Structure 1
Amino acid sequence: MNAPHRLAVLVDSCLLPTVSGSGDRLPDWILHGLERGTPGAAVDAGCAAAARRAARALRAALPGALAGHTGPRPAVDGTAAAAELVASGANLHLGVRPDPAPGATGAFVTGLQAHGVAAALGPFTGAGGLRPFAEGLAAGVRAIAVGHAPAPGGDGRPAVLSPAAVTGTLRGELGFSGAVMSDALDAPAVVEGWGVPGAAVLAWIAGVDLVRLGPRSGSGVREAIHAAAARAVTDGDLPLARLEEAAERVARLRRWASEPRTPVAARRPVTRDA
């Protein structure tokens, strides 16, 4: 595989586009990305039936794809949330919010992931209390989503673009080794300051693994991200090894989320000899 093609595959492997609407066919630009390594998509659908159709189309194009969803509202416990998400075809909960009540975040993550739905806990900014995130880590949370709010003690840039927040606090202080995601990069606070392509590159440099593209992103944005990443690699700002590391973490997340699992209620209890 030549170097430009390898870079293109790595970039696609670290992008999570958003599927909008209720059609049974995915947009061509998303299909092309799935053929090149994109691990799945977030599903932005107005009802459960539409979400199921989008998830079916996604898995028809890529068996074992990540199918992200923001989860049920109002909030329910992790087991109930997992049941609803599984019914809609999702295997990645994009909207797991940290709960300040002691033990609540860990319990939610445990209940959710016991049913094979990966939790993306966030938004993480490095500010405020870190206890819910520490609880999530102790419960084995598979992903953490970094948000758009400014990182503490920085230059005002969003946490998702801050090496201090991602590599320093999340990776270093908390010791998280799973997949780090971005919140959707088409938020005004990001677009107005850096544009989606520039923000994607800065997020990877900061230590983010999986860049989430919002529903307003399309084929032109994907192509611009590829061009921005190529420039950053050529200039030495974005090491290829950083993208390789990110792609491997995303691949681990996808493998975990696509593993077949026995429903929790059907599992036999573990017995020990007296």
Structure 2
Amino acid sequence: MPDRLSTLVNSCLLPAYGGAVPADWLKRALDDGLAGIVLYGANLGLLDGRVREVVTGPMRAHRPDLVVALDEEGGDITRAEYHRGSNYPGALALGVVDDVELTERVGSAIAADLIEAGVSVNLAPCLDICPGPELPVFGTRSFGPDPARVAAHARAFVTGVQRHGVAATAKHFPGLGATRVDSHFTLPTVRASEAELRARDLAPFAAAVEAGVQAVMTGHVAVPSFDDAPATFSRRFVTDVLRGELGFDGVVVSDSLDMESARGPLGFGGAAVRAWAAGVDLMVIGPQDGEELCAEIRESARRAVAEGVLPLARLEEAAERVARLRAATAAPVPPGSDLSGTGLAAARRAVAVRGTLPLPEPRFVVEARPEPNISCGTVPWGLTGALDRLGGLAGSLAVPPGTPADALTVPSGTPLAVVARADAPDPWQEALVSGLLARRPDAVLVDMGYRDLPVPAGTTVVKTYGAGLVNAVAAAELLAGRRAEGAPRTWW
């Protein structure tokens, strides 16, 4: 028989499940107050876009106001379009264009897609500021290095998403952009003074709060100038700064507790208790099936309340905030106009040509294929599909990591395009590109990453500022000399 404490804890949890179809235990947990679910690539990659049919429709028939959340940033990070790639450019491309009205339209278009899929909470945008190319962790996920520009686009994206009754989530508070390691694997540290962090990293979050953002996600990051505890477990960051100074009264969401930087020796239960005590409301557990993890967290919370470590009132406060979020997102209103072409229009404005663009001809494409980033997952990306659909592909070669340029057979009489994507310094991609361009100085480099790959003088570079599907289509249009008709999702 469920008890009140179990229901309270459940109402502050966002687990995942294994496979394509939600597990039966989720319905039982929803009956005992579970806040909702997070969808990951491991689920969505199996659905081929049938999110409402397989997942959200049946779940909402059981509990209409549950939270269904996922990461839909656009560009390199998509979940709703995990099966084909995003129909929207990501934050860096939007920051390069620097048109806040365009960013707001993209936010609205993404919200329309999420409403169609039955998703109520978008775990985006990233408000992490990347001060320079030597700090590659967020790369194309960041609107850029300038706090004022990031703040302006934060306000625009949040406004666009939330206009239609989908909640946006400003992440990763207080800012992970100035870090060198991935918090999935180890705890990063920001070595900034308190004054520097306030002026640089907190400004976009202040703008998002002013815009009425409904959720803020904490980052698993240490900032010694503020607190010895990582931000997710820092009462100073969550309660004093975010709530007290910035005035945020919405739901504070944890980044995934399965990350080593959060879970560590505490386990899932210990990490959740520590985060609740700091002021976090809603726990994202991670991509694993959450049945046993939810049980572990409930037991840890029970012990913590009994021992006086976690006040019951703190859980009640968190549950009330989550309930307000559920009510606010239970009846979204789709946009009244067709926004499906917004993403491609934005990607076209972002793509940049450095050098002289050659005349349109069918091209042989060599694509460097680095190991997938854990945040991006295995979303399809690259130039070949888009170029083929526009009639500009003469052949292609996908190159696995570590393959040297001199091991490749490239046709000599056919125009060549080389595709690469690097967020951090990558000696293999740099050597591959260098070797191919030495053999074929007439080749065009299509650079889809955050970091500019070095090229010889005179090389034509098409820079997309992201590897989303629309980024690829925008680049392919330039090489093929013709435009795609309609949004890619209508014909891909």
One fold, TM greater than 0.5? yes
Q: For 2:163, which of 99, 114, 132 is the aligned residue?
A: 114
Aligned residue in 1 for 2:204: 132
The 8 Å contact of residues 56 and 89 in structure 1, kept in 2 or not, is answered as yes
Residue by residue over 1:226-270, the C-alpha shift from the partner in whole angstroms, topping out at 9 and shown as x without a partner, is 11101110111111111110000000001001124363549xxxx
Q: What is the CA-CA distance between 1:216 and the residue it aligns to?
A: 1.8
Supply the AA of the counterpart residue of 1:97.
Answer: C
Partner of 1:86, secondary structure, is helix
Residue by residue over 1:202-239, the C-alpha shift from the partner in whole angstroms, topping out at 9 and shown as x without a partner, is 11000001111111252221111111101110111111
Partner of 1:253, secondary structure, is helix
Q: What is the CA-CA distance between 1:153 and the residue it aligns to?
A: 3.0
Aligned residue in 2 for 1:32: 28
How far apart, CA to CA, are the structure 2 residues paired with 1:113 and 1:48? 26
Aligned residue in 2 for 1:271: none
Q: 1:69 to 1:149 in 2, by over 3 A?
A: same
Q: What is the CA-CA distance between 1:32 and the residue it aligns to?
A: 2.1
How far apart, CA to CA, are the structure 1 residues paired with 2:262 and 2:209? 27
Residue by residue over 1:147-174, the C-alpha shift from the partner in whole angstroms, topping out at 9 and shown as x without a partner, is 1112443664321111111111111111
Q: Does 1:215 align with 2:293?
A: no
How far apart, CA to CA, are the structure 2 residues paired with 1:236 and 1:174? 29
Q: 1:230 to 1:147 in 2, by over 3 A?
A: same
Percent identical pairs in the alignment equals 43
Q: What is the CA-CA distance between 1:139 and the residue it aligns to?
A: 0.9
How far apart, CA to CA, are the structure 1 residues paired with 2:331 and 2:236? 34
Structure 1: gaps (5+ residues): 267-274
Aligned residue in 2 for 1:11: 9
Partner of 1:121, secondary structure, is strand
Q: 1:156 to 1:54 in 2, by over 3 A?
A: farther
Q: 1:155 to 1:194 in 2, by over 3 A?
A: farther
Partner of 2:258, secondary structure, is coil
Supply the AA of the counterpart residue of 2:16.
Answer: T
The 8 Å contact of residues 66 and 326 in structure 2, kept in 1 or not, is answered as yes
Residue by residue over 1:160-198, the C-alpha shift from the partner in whole angstroms, topping out at 9 and shown as x without a partner, is 111111111111111111111101101111222321110
Residue by residue over 1:8-29, the C-alpha shift from the partner in whole angstroms, topping out at 9 and shown as x without a partner, is 1100011011244322xx2233
Structure 2: gaps (5+ residues): 76-89, 91-102, 128-142, 176-196, 339-492
Bigger Rg, structure 1 or 2: 2
Q: For 1:78, which of 86, 96, 107 is the aligned residue?
A: 107
Q: Does 1:234 align with 2:235?
A: no
Aligned residue in 2 for 1:143: 215
Aligned residue in 1 for 2:58: 57
109-118 or 93-102, larger mean C-alpha shift = 93-102
Supply the AA of the counterpart residue of 1:16.
Answer: L
The 8 Å contact of residues 21 and 50 in structure 1, kept in 2 or not, is answered as no
Q: 1:215 to 1:161 in 2, by over 3 A?
A: same
The 8 Å contact of residues 110 and 139 in structure 1, kept in 2 or not, is answered as yes
The 8 Å contact of residues 120 and 145 in structure 1, kept in 2 or not, is answered as yes
The 8 Å contact of residues 255 and 284 in structure 2, kept in 1 or not, is answered as yes
Q: What is the CA-CA distance between 1:113 and the residue it aligns to?
A: 0.5
Residue by residue over 1:41-60, the C-alpha shift from the partner in whole angstroms, topping out at 9 and shown as x without a partner, is 11122266243322223212
Aligned residue in 1 for 2:19: 21
Aligned residue in 2 for 1:180: 252
Q: Does 1:162 align with 2:158?
A: no
How far apart, CA to CA, are the structure 2 residues paired with 1:113 and 1:91? 10
